């Protein structure tokens, strides 16, 4: 079959992959960034089809995979990669990929889960995520070092309690996961926390980003991020 993934070259160092045949509710962005000494992969999609063969790295060059949080559309293929980093607070859940944590059960009965079958006889009811124990646990303030790029880990809860993002303080490059993105923000999942999300948005108002690559939707600049954060703060104030 044709590739399950679409691929877009963003710039000389950044490639975005996504899964165009899955429901838009769980169609997440997968970011591959090239560093000097190591490459970075931010999130891994649904895991319906193998992702690892789609990621092009130089032979022998390490690939560090960072899961921004444990929800199904960001960790599905995490088990395919040997270097797996993610938030410390949910590390135990990565060892089992319990459906209560990943929300994989929501996909089982999702109407129109896929617009194209990945394989004959495939059923969304059979969807499951393989366990992927973390090889590195990340906390607020930790650094992901690619040799010529250093990304600071930011803990930005609200959408989920374990949401993290990666920020290059020298360049303003921001991989935001689902902490903020240019699409409909989700704050009503069982583990969402609107008050925490409000605090995250206030923090992001002052973050000096140059370009943000989110877990969903198009990329955004600092002005657009402040618009998104301000709109969210107004919306929750009106409730």
Q: What is the pLDDT along the chain (239 residues), one digit of tens a residue?
A: 479 999 999 999 999 999 999 999 999 999 999 999 999 999 999 999 999 999 988 888 999 999 999 999 999 999 999 999 999 999 999 999 999 999 999 999 899 999 999 999 999 999 999 999 999 999 999 999 999 999 999 999 999 999 999 999 999 999 999 999 999 999 999 999 999 999 999 999 999 999 999 999 999 999 999 999 999 999 988 76
What is the C-alpha separation between 194 and 87, in angstroms, rounded?
20
Element (H, E) at 214: strand 211-214
Would you state the pLDDT for residue 1? 46
pTM, two decimal places: 0.96
- β-strand pairing of 136-138 with 84-87: parallel
Would you state the pLDDT for residue 175? 98
What is the C-alpha separation between 107 and 205, in angstroms, rounded?
33
Q: Using an 8 Å Cβ cutoff, are 102 and 79 in contact?
A: no
Q: What domains lie within the chain, and their CATH numbers?
A: 6-237 (3.60.15.10)
Residue 67: HSE in the Cβ half-sphere, 13 Å Cα cutoff: 38
Q: Using an 8 Å Cβ cutoff, are 124 and 107 in contact?
A: yes
Would you state the pLDDT for residue 239? 65
Kindly give, in sequence order, each residue whose CB lies less than 8 Å from that of residue 54, ignoring residues fewer than 6 positions away: 3, 5, 7, 17
Q: How far is CA 29 from the centre of its chain?
A: 7
Kindly give, in sequence order, each residue whose CB lies less than 8 Å from that of residue 235, ignoring residues fewer than 6 positions away: none
């Amino acid at each position: 079959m044709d590739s399950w993934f679409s691929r877009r070259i963003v710039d000389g160092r950044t490639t975005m992959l996504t899964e165009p045949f899955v429901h838009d509710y769980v169609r997440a962005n997968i970011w591959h960034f090239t560093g000097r000494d190591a490459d970075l992969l931010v999130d891994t999609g649904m895991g319906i089809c193998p992702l690892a063969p789609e990621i092009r790295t130089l032979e022998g060059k390490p690939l560090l995979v960072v899961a921004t949080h444990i929800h199904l559309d960001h960790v599905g293929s995490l088990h395919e990669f040997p270097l797996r980093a993610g938030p410390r607070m949910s590390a135990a859940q990565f060892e089992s990929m319990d459906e209560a944590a990943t929300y994989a059960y929501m996909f089982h009965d999702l109407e129109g889960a896929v617009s194209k079958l990945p394989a004959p006889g495939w059923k969304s009811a059979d969807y499951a995520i393989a366990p992927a124990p973390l090889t590195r646990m990340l906390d607020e303030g930790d650094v992901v070092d690619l040799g010529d790029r250093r990304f600071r880990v930011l803990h930005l809860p609200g959408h989920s309690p374990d949401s993290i993002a990666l920020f290059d303080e020298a360049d303003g490059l921001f991989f935001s996961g689902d902490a903020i993105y240019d699409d409909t923000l989700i704050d009503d999942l069982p583990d969402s926390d609107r008050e925490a999300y409000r605090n995250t948005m206030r923090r992001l108002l002052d973050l000096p980003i140059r370009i943000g690559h989110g877990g969903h939707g198009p990329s955004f600049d600092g002005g657009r991020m402040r618009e998104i954060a301000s709109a969210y703060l107004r919306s929750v104030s009106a409730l």
